[in-house]
Structure 1
Amino acid sequence: MEARSRRIASLAVWALVLTILVPLAGLMGAAPAKALVTDGFDPGYIISDEKFADSGSMTNAQIHEFLQAKGAKCTSNCLKDYRMATSDRDPVAGRCNGYTGRSSENVANIIKNVAVSCGINPQVLLVMLEKEQGLVTATAPSASRYKIAMGYACPDTAPCDTRYYGFYNQVYMAAYQYKVYATSPSSFRYKAGQNNSIQWHPNASCGSSTVYIRNQATASLYNYTPYRPNAAALANPYGIGNSCSSYGNRNFFVKFTDWFGTTTSSLPEGRINSTVVDPGVVRVTGWALDRDSSESIGLHVYVNGSMYKAAEADISRPDVGRAFPGYGDDHGFDLFLRLPAGQTEVCVYGLNVGGGKNNLIACRTVDPIAGSPVGSLTTAQVEPGGVRLAGWALDPDTLDAASLSVTFQGKSVGTIRASSTSEGVVTSYPTHGTNRGFDTVVPVGVGRGDVCLTAVNVGVGKNVSLGCRTLDVFGDNPIGRVDTMYTGPATVQVSGWTIDRNTTGGVNTELLVDGKVVASKVAAASRPDVARVYPGYGEYHGYTVSGVLPAGSHTVCVRFINRGDGTGQTTMGCRSVTAPTGSPTLEIEKVVRTATGYTYTGYAMDPDSTSPVTIRAVTPNGTVLASTTASASRPDRGAAFPLYGADQGFTLTVPLGAKTADFCVTAVNVGAGSNAASCTRFGPDPTARLDAVTAAPGGVDVRGWALDPDTRNAIDVHVYVDGRHTSTLTANGTRADIGRAYPAYGDAHGYSARIQMSAGSHNVCVYALNVGSGTNVLVRCQKVVVSGGLPFGRVDSLVASTGGATVSGWALDYDTANPIDVHVYVDGKMRVASTASGSRPDVARVYPAWGAQRGYSVPLALSSGTHEVCVYGINAGPGKNDRIGCRTITVR
């Protein structure tokens, strides 16, 4: 609010001017009327923002010269000579940048530093000093006038606040207050860009007027000095008006104009009144004019800092014409901008006319609804009439239905529009509604290829592919497949599927044998796998058709009968088949011998019959020992031979109490062919096996089993090497597998032993010795090579350590299972003896008969320099010591 002291001081200053001017006017007589300085006073635009904030309008030196010139008549306590100590002030973000105090500063320096810190024109500060206390031109100002130099904190209704006394304090705080007005405009009574009710005088009875304040600088002046000069005050710019006149803002305008020229820059001005975001377009409205001309001015629109387009502010705006009398109405703009999606800054600049420069009208941040089309191809499948395409799509730039281009095998086949309901589809564009779906059948040619869908762009962006699907598009003739073809006694059965493009119904399917129809059936069985490939046709397109197959070889085909368009039937799946005949199939899968006989498990099938096969156990002289039928369920056999059924399994028990056996399990033939048999002979000679002959220290290890049907006891086994008997073994080791195979004889029939022999090639033969009736049996002979002679091994590493090194590796001798000694030589001299007995599982894996205790790791004390370290294996048995390896190392 306006300070009382400011008003009184202003009246005193201007009354003094008046006393000088009136006598001169009387002496000169009547003078012609001329323009007053206040004729240009606009209560809504007292000073421009740019002019108000031009902190660089004067240098320190120019301010000093100005004060000297204006204060030339001052005789004492003059502003031009005034100096004082200033204090430090901290910066405040968005307002003033603080102040660095000095022990002694002149007024010019204070004014300039405050102007720069707070971003205010030093000319404004000079005018304020004159407007408030007349300090610039005073001839002998009192100290009290310096205390309240800017009238800051001097309200109309109370004394000035002593906390803000002092010239420097007043100048800084007044400038700071103007920054507060500008950075927090909503916190104060008078606001730019709207109508404001402003009193004529502190006396409320004088009334008020409505003023549209066009800029922040003018609003700040009113917040500092809250009264509008009336006509009487403006008619007498250097004097007194009437009792309702106020002078603060008049005096500011008059003094600024007298001293520094126009208070307004000749820059374009205006406003952005609205920004509206619609699909594909951002609409920006507002007005702009340059007071240097009543003509419409040009505009430049910048988007995110880059020039976007030029425009004109030439649309009729009567409201602007009323606010700027004499400039006309044609200063509005209505811009339609197609902008990419994403947060975007739009700035409008007015192009200067006459003096001045182009000026920013305003900026707005918008989030355009724009960009390339979006969507999804959810279904692409072959259906009657073509290819069904379904999904959704939209173009952010338009509310019209998106246009979609369809191609097949790279060629255009049509265009569809996404205009059907898309309920349930969640998009990022709620403004586009829910009618963005498509679901239609597009006719396409025959063949295999990619069906592709492209959303055609409108406005900002580019065309977008919604994807491709590889499809087999078939023609009007039926298609299908023969999955299986089975034969049985005088029968052939074929299964598969078929579809006719022109219908979702079943297709009639014919079975042909040598070109003649032997059966037909409608393909209407469930085939979910077919529905997954051709979902548009459903799942009921499977067939299984059977017909008579005469004896001999034949050509069997399937024919699909066309429905609707097409050229006729489709014949496919032709195969050459022979009617099955011949001997039975007999498979013994398991044999178990017990104390009471044998049990056989397996399956049998006769190609000439679907009846179960008879299974018999028959001796060489024709005696039938046991009989059954192969009628147990065997689903695996039924799946492999579906026309014969699953009843092909059997279990046959042959009750044979004797210790020996000689018979055949026989599948009895039906029709063409002969019986199938699997024969068993057990005893009276021993039964045995040599499982393995493996290398071992000093020879080989043999392992196997042996038993004699005449006894449950263990029998002897003889081992011969190169034709000479070397070992007699008793086959009494546990062999659970033999016990399971021969349960009447128990588990104790295994044998294993190490057979010592010299190095070289040998022939090892094993004999099972007979007990009771029968003879000894040669089990098997095997050639072996026994390694022997020199020790061998490896030096794995030689690693330096403090004052020496450690050599590590492994060693063994084929002639012994015990660890062998190693000798370590350094530079040709024996240094250390050790035993290779450390655990080396890796060696055991390669030489399992010798075990893992074959490693060595020997620390050596070595002098500085380079040394050769060699390791020797010490021989055990035939042979001699041998060098395992050498390494060189440098000890530092």
Structure 2
Amino acid sequence: MRRIVLAVVAILVAVAGVAAVDAVSGDSTASAADARDFDPGMIISDQVFYDRSTMSASAIQSFLDARVPTCTATTGPTCLKDYRTTTSNKSGESGRCSAYSGRSNQSAAQIIYDVAQACGINPRSLIVLIEKEQSLVTDSSPTDRQYRSATGYGCPDTADCDSQYYGFFNQVYSAALQFKRYAAAPTGRAYEAGRNNSILYHPNSACGTKTVYIKNQATAGLYLYTPYTPNSAALANLYGTGDSCSSYGNRNFWRLFTDWFGSTKGNDSPSGDVTRAVGGYRAIEVSGTASDPNSASPIRVHVYVDGVGKSSVAADQPTSTGANGFTARVGGLDPGVRSVCVFGINVGAGSNTLLRCVRVAIPSASPFGVIDEAAGAPGQITFRGWAIDPDTVDPIRVHVYVDGVGRASIAADAVKAGLDGAKPGFGDRHGFAGTIGGVAPGTHSLCVYAINVAAGSNKRIGCAQVAMPSGSPIGRFESAVAPDIGVIDVSGWAYDPDVVDPIRVHVYVDGRGWASIAADVERATPTWPGYGTAHGFSARLSGVTPGSHRVCAYAINVGDGGNAGLGCIDVAMPQGSPKIWVDEAAAGAEKGTAFVRGWAFDPDTVDPIRVHVYVDGVGAASVEASLVKEGLGTVYPGMGDLHGFRADLTGLAPGQHSVCMYAIDRVSPGSTVSAGCRTVTVQ
């Protein structure tokens, strides 16, 4: 972001920015800024800076229209009030900006509004940022450069602007996101709220620094974005230039906002809300947010019950807008409906603020609770939930009925995470869980009753209709691959809803039963609640012939239902060039003779192939590899043992000869393969 704004820009915007605008309404009345009101420690309050609700898209458009009644641009881009562009999708960042859905032909006003809503930034803040950086709001004949760096994002003082952030929409969204990043992670930065900060007057460090106690996050964000504070000369000539050590960015932001929209502090009194109020065991818990525009530190929140002050807590818990959240619990209350009022306690100017009054019921008499889950498994029903009696913090018992018949009495004393937060004062140990066995097939009604303590009566906390699982097997044939010649590896999962035990899976290759596999392999996924984790299957099918095959799997039924097809997968066996191996190449027993033997086959067929033998480069024999080669079919399942060969060579001169062997490709794809050459000494 451009750190220092030229004085000429400051003068231009001042001329256009003094008068109030009827098209824009707000809580504060716009008037000419007075330098005596500039507070370097609170340039703008958090309440104002992050208020996304101040302007609609049409109000923004009216404001832009009023700034430039007549656009004089004849070349280059049009004025901001008439500017349109296509925006892109943004995925958003948690706790900063929500996702942005890009659209074509969006107006500048709509872009400012949409970004403000997505990021939780005051659209007025964005308008002022655009003006103080590039004068785009008031310029009647803007340039491409002003649009490409509209908010000065990615524009340091010491280098050119970063081109990856060029473009009006990119600039507005990136700047808003950056301010929310500052707020989401406010510590460990060069400037922080709630402490003294040494801030430069000018990029020239010789101009010196000023110690500024930054009071709030929005002001800290402005200094992180533009790290200079105006000196006395810049403030003395609020609508003009100061001296050589003056900078104008943060001065102009404050002055423009004040001129156009009124006070940058808004209401001096605290603001906030009550977002949650629940009753528990003789207690009430309330949560919300509260902050004061005049304080960077957390403020106090007072809680009144039926007009009587009961609690004072600090609003210092982290929220999406900073450390301004609070939670207060008030105990020792009698059952009944209570009036709870929460006040934000003022700091500095302003007065205490009533954030909200709510009516909260503190339960009494009969117990209450919830069935969280009830599910059927073979021959049994599992269930869980929680139950509380408002007259005690101790666990109570629950009675469980199936089809009107009492089946279990269970203590609701298990930990139910988060229960104390939802029902303050009772604690978390009110959960229950159990299993009812011996349940017949069909649909059953499971009802749970919370057993009363003291005043009140037993209470049915719910009933659930549970269908016992039954029927044909369920599963999935996940994979069938041929890792090598003659074998196929298969895997998947299957179970029968009638039993928890593993079932069998039958595998067929080209319609022929090939294997029966137990589906008993442990698996982490998927899960089968009530059935355990051992329902996977995995096996290797051997002796599969070359070519393409259809492999189908069937889950074998147990109990009701029938066998279930899990699917079929087409598998192509490995293809390619022949394989050949020479076991021996040697001289024969007779003079002038030699022989070679080994094995060879083409993976594309089970039929024999031919082997050609060359002696000293001259073809000497062509034999069929159709002899028995014991064990070959074990190593290469599906190919069989009938791929051995022997070639007897005669008429050879005494001495050394080079004997070379070749396996001849029979079926495409593939080509002839050499087994290499052997040196044989002939008698």
TM-score of the alignment, normalized to the shorter chain, above 0.5: no
TM-score band w.r.t. shorter chain: 0.3 to 0.5
- Determine which structure has the larger strand proportion and give its number: 1
- Could you say which structure has the larger radius of gyration? 1
- Please give the TM-score of this superposition, normalised by the length of structure 1: 0.31
- Please give the TM-score of this superposition, normalised by the length of structure 2: 0.40
